[in-house]
Amino acid sequence: MAEHPATETASGAADRKPCYGTMFPDTLHVEPNVTVRGKAFNCKLESLGLGRSGQNVSVIPEEWEDCLACRDFDHCYKLSMGKLALASAISEK
């Protein structure tokens, strides 16, 4: 199958910021006691031994404000939520 060169679409997809679609951390690769970072949110699974003792999810206020001000916020948020839902579905299997 032939590859197609990247072209700009009507929505300006080739003109997206590097952070596009990364509001939330990659939750498929979370190590205990290590903070996993997304553009606007962080999470950490706390462990004191064999099991999980807690979880911490936090927002990075200045990055969230940057996201809200971005012209691509709606599309980026939908993509970020889709990735998060897929990661959740995969991790439940």
Torsion-angle region of 74 (φ positive above 0: left; ψ -120 to 50: alpha; else: beta)? alpha
How far, in Å, CA of 25 to CA of 38, rounded? Answer: 4
| pLDDT the model gives residue 91 | 82
Nearest to 27 by CA among 17, 35, 18: 35
| pLDDT the model gives residue 29 | 85
Give helix 73-91 / helix 61-69 axis angle, nearest 10°: 120
Helix residue ranges per DSSP H, the chain: 61-69, 73-91
Query: pLDDT tens track of the chain, all 93 residues?
Result: 444 344 344 455 678 999 999 999 998 888 889 999 999 999 998 988 777 788 899 999 999 999 999 999 999 999 999 999 999 999 876
| pLDDT the model gives residue 93 | 62
